[in-house]
Amino acid sequence: ALTAGIVGLPNVGKSTLFNAITKAGAEMANYPFATIDPNVGMVEVPDERLARIDELIPAKKIIPTTFEFTDIAGIVKGASKGEGLGNKFLENIRQVDAIVHVVRAFDDDNITTVSGKVDPLEDIETINLELSLADLESVNKRYAKVEKVARTKDKDAMAEFAVLQKIKPVLEDGGSVRSITFDEDEQKIVKGLFLLTAKPVIYVGNIAEADMADPDASPYYQQIKDFAAQENAEALAISAKTEEEIAELDDADKKDFLEAEGVSESGLDRLIKASYHLLGLATFFTAGGKETRAWTFKRGMKAPQVAGIIHSDFERGFIRAEVMSYTDLDQLGSAQAVKEAGKLRLEGKEYLVQDGDIIEFRFNV
Ligand code: GDP
């Protein structure tokens, strides 16, 4: 499964956020026996469409789809030249698909920071510098090798060398590869380099509870947002401490609590949704059997591949998919009405599944 790794300097609120995630995960009714790595927190992906589908095509239970966060431990500073724990930190980041970079954006004299002050930009740069240095090392290794082959006029090597020439100076400046604009062919090459600073990132400002209703009013969060924008990255404001409290409440209490805070959705729910989109994930549904269920797929997947997410037999024996869109069901009010309107589609092997598709697969066993 795809996962987003939580990173940040010491004392910024990573463990607090990760606790909120594991507590929210522990509340999940449908996965009582999920045994996973203690560094992995599984949460449900909130999706208002599930309840509506279940209302129109009733089933015994509703099963949301899930998403995983990984807590990335290890030493940050000096990681790029360090041994042991520092290397482990970089290794762990290499294995995640997206980065949730937690940055301190609250004042509290009792909780010390690495630099002795609250300075979001400096914090971000401390971590990003380690990642850029590690990437620079990988790029430099590749650079000499590829340069040699490119001299023989090898087309692939020439294309890769051009990309390396574009990346190298940015890393030397302590910048991130994600801030560079690449065309489609270049993007493929960049992907093959497995660089840390090319991974999609969400900068999470851990703000004070008092700033929850209007995070933009926090100068700390504003700095984080501006930085993220420059890097083609996303920013989000969360009060980790509050999220930890909310995670223990049932749905009704959670709603009351959030209303009292003046927000419509918990920070954790926003983080889950943002991570999901950042990774190019989307949701399809199955309905009409014993359960109404959401499933995660990667945008760009075709019907047989998506069928394989449910069961490998579905992919192997795929015949066709009967598809209606959530929007049609919602607007027309019943599966029958969708059918009568001619909007129940029969789709074959080449069909690109869309977010919100409600699918029944036909397959040979
Ligand atoms: P980590 O080292 O990044 O994992 O940081 P922790 O999650 O352990 O948090 C460090 C300290 O900051 C703990 O004492 C937390 O209770 C506290 N903390 C975390 N989030 C907040 C917050 O939003 N506001 C305040 N005042 N304290 C927080």
ipTM of the complex: 0.94
Three-state DSSP class for 157? helix
Residue 200: CB partners within 8 Å, gap ≥ 6? 97, 98, 99, 178, 233, 278, 279
Residue 289 per-residue DSSP state: S
The CATH topology of domain 3-45+65-116+200-278 is: Rossmann fold (3.40.50)
CA 13–ligand 1 middle distance (angstroms): 4
Question: CA 33 to CA 209: how far, in whole Å?
Answer: 34
What CATH superfamily classification does 126-197 receive? Obg-related GTPase Ych/YyaF, coiled-coil domain (1.10.150.300)
Pocket, ligand 1, Cβ cutoff 6 A: 8, 10-16, 106, 108, 111, 206, 208, 239-241
CA of 130 to the centre of ligand 1 (A): 23
CB atoms within 10 A of CB 79: 24
The token duo for 65 is 């789809």
- Kindly list the domain boundaries of the chain, sorted by start residue: 3-45+65-116+200-278, 126-197, 300-363
SS (H, E, C) 299-319: CCCEHHHHHHHHCHHHHHCEE
CATH architecture of residue range(s) 300-363: Roll (3.10)
Q: Quote the tokens at residue 349.
A: 């092997």
**Residue with tokens 């037999």, as numbered in its chain:** 313
The answer to whether the predicted template modeling score (pTM) of the entire model surpasses 0.80 is: yes
pLDDT 10s per residue in the chain (365 long)? 789 999 999 889 999 999 999 888 777 766 655 556 788 998 899 999 999 999 999 999 999 999 999 999 777 677 777 666 678 889 999 999 999 999 999 988 888 877 778 899 999 999 999 999 999 999 999 999 999 999 999 999 999 999 999 999 999 999 999 999 999 999 999 999 999 999 999 999 999 999 998 999 999 999 999 999 998 899 999 999 999 999 989 889 999 999 998 888 999 999 999 999 899 999 999 998 899 999 999 999 999 999 999 999 899 999 999 999 999 999 999 999 999 999 999 999 999 999 999 999 999 87
| Long-range pairs for 287-291: beta carbons < 8 A, 24 or more residues apart | 287/53, 287/54, 287/57, 287/59, 287/358, 288/57, 288/59, 288/335, 288/360, 289/59, 290/59, 290/60, 290/61, 291/59, 291/60, 291/61, 291/62, 291/63
Mutate to test the pocket of ligand 1, among 6, 7, 9, 11 (most ligand atoms within 8 A of CB): 11
Q: What's the gap in Å between 268 CA and the centre of ligand 1?
A: 16
